[in-house]
Structure 1
Amino acid sequence: MNLLLSVVIGYVFGSMHGSQLIGKLKNIDIKGTGLKNAGASNTTMLLGWKYGIAVALIDILKGTIAVVFIKIVLVKLGVGSDTQPVFVYLGALAIVLGHNFPFTMRFKGGKGTASMVGILLALQWQLALVSIGVLLLFALSSGFLVIGVLFMYAAFVTGTYVLYGLVPAITAFIMLALSVVMHRENFLRIYNKEEKKIASFFKKGVE
């Protein structure tokens, strides 16, 4: 029951897409246009940085709220702090799966980065601080967001193992592997020198 509730809560929250809400507001299919991704980066390129930030904030908040809600439910069910991380991490995986494969968008969503940031913020603040710091460091130094994302997940897996042990770390590694798969086209574009750098996302709508 604990596992089922964590997964269902996570997936339902994950399926609530910021790009879908903004797309309806602006009457545009964000997923089917531009980079054909339902995330903040594609929204920024199509509509400008203000709408991109709005999508990112929605997707971050849903990750944070979902994890907090899962924790509250587990406490109400009497799940102790020693076993709670296992269910919370499985719920976090469900959030990312919901974002990437939402039932609200025919199972074709985004890549989960913003939702992952929100998850980190609700999991453990030290882990969030290190992982998000690593994301910013490598994204800004390389110029490519996806590079920062890769190292963020690596820090997340390592920190999870140190704090919570093997089983949550395995779940975190699955999330890392999923991110690599979802970003495979980005890595291919970097190899072919076709990937857009971070600065290019903010050129639209700066006027």
Structure 2
Amino acid sequence: MAVWILTILIISYLVGAIHGSKVAQFISGVNIKKEGLKNSGASNAAIVLGMKYGILVALIDILKGVLVIIGIRFCIQQYGTFSAAEQDLLLYLAGAAVILGHNFPVYTGFKGGKGTASIIGILFAIYWPIGLIGLLLLIGTTFLTDFLLIGVFVFYAVFIVASIWFAKGVAPIAIAGFLFVMAVVLHIENFRRLVRKEEPRISAFLKKKKPSV
């Protein structure tokens, strides 16, 4: 079990550390880590380069979460002999490692994004119907309030509820709680801007056509 955990953590972290922002940089020529909010997340790509680039980065970062969970689930079912609780633990550890890799990538000096796109992919791969519901609520809340930040934490609420309701054992719930707390910490400045009425609105992303250079 220990070998499985260590292997899963390393692989998931390294995959998580691969960023969609690098594709956006290759296409646009703009390093979004040096612009806007100075991170490599999808929301910053939208702020700096426009909504189309934000969607591109989000899709890539969602996909890595999906692929890691699907790949690891296949391996533990084919080559491991684990209980349902142990399988859930391994999948949640993989998900957490993807998020840590995304937020603190070794390739870029541990300065990454905030994990939103990847957590969407992870929930989709673990419980896809709940992931779809969470995504629809994220999109709906974002457009209703005009703030992505609020939609993000509605999605995290869905993720935690799904973990409590469907996951076997306490460990997955604890991991989901850890990811929520990490998201709160990484979004503190966003909350401060929201209070100051300076947080970027989603409508501003939609109007953005050209890279900011």
TM-score above 0.5, yes or no: yes
- Show the counterpart of 1:65: 67
- Show the counterpart of 2:15: 13
What are the superposed Cα offsets for residues 109-136 of structure 1, whole Å, 9 maximum, x if unpaired?
A: 0001111111111111122123223322
What TM-score do you get using the length of structure 1 for normalisation?
A: 0.93
- Show the counterpart of 2:46: 44
CA separation in 1, counterparts of 2:91 and 2:139? 25
CA separation in 2, counterparts of 1:79 and 1:196? 48
User: How many Å apart are 1:47 and its aligned residue?
Assistant: 2.0
What TM-score do you get using the length of structure 2 for normalisation?
A: 0.91
> For structure 1, which segment, 155-164 or 85-94, has the greater mean C-alpha deviation from structure 2 after superposition?
155-164
CA separation in 2, counterparts of 1:35 and 1:201? 14
CA separation in 2, counterparts of 1:79 and 1:130? 31
Match of 1:123 among 117, 121, 126: 126
- Show the counterpart of 1:112: 115
- Show the counterpart of 1:190: 194
> For structure 1, which segment, 102-111 or 120-129, has the greater mean C-alpha deviation from structure 2 after superposition?
120-129
* Residues 1:175 and 2:179 aligned together: yes
CA separation in 2, counterparts of 1:3 and 1:87? 7
What are the superposed Cα offsets for residues 75-116 of structure 1, whole Å, 9 maximum, x if unpaired?
A: 233143512010100110000000000011110000011111
* Residues 1:204 and 2:208 aligned together: yes
Residue type matched to 2:66 in 1? T
CA separation in 2, counterparts of 1:158 and 1:81? 22
Query: What secondary structure does 2:92 align onto?
Result: helix
The answer as to whether partners of 1:40 and 1:55 remain within 8 angstroms in 2 is yes
- Show the counterpart of 1:137: 140
Residue type matched to 1:193 in 2? K
What are the superposed Cα offsets for residues 28-82 of structure 1, whole Å, 9 maximum, x if unpaired?
A: 2211111212112221222222222211111111111111111122223314351
1:79 and 1:179, CA in 2 relative to 1: closer, same or farther beyond 3 A? Answer: farther
Residue type matched to 1:169 in 2? I
Query: What secondary structure does 1:65 align onto?
Result: helix
* Residues 1:102 and 2:105 aligned together: yes
User: How many Å apart are 1:192 and its aligned residue?
Assistant: 0.7
The answer as to whether partners of 1:9 and 1:70 remain within 8 angstroms in 2 is no
Q: 5+ unaligned residues in a row in structure 2: which ranges?
A: none
- Show the counterpart of 2:30: 28
CA separation in 1, counterparts of 2:54 and 2:140? 21
CA separation in 2, counterparts of 1:194 and 1:100? 23
Matched positions, count: 206
CA separation in 2, counterparts of 1:5 and 1:16? 17
RMSD over aligned Cα atoms: 1.5
CA separation in 2, counterparts of 1:159 and 1:118? 14
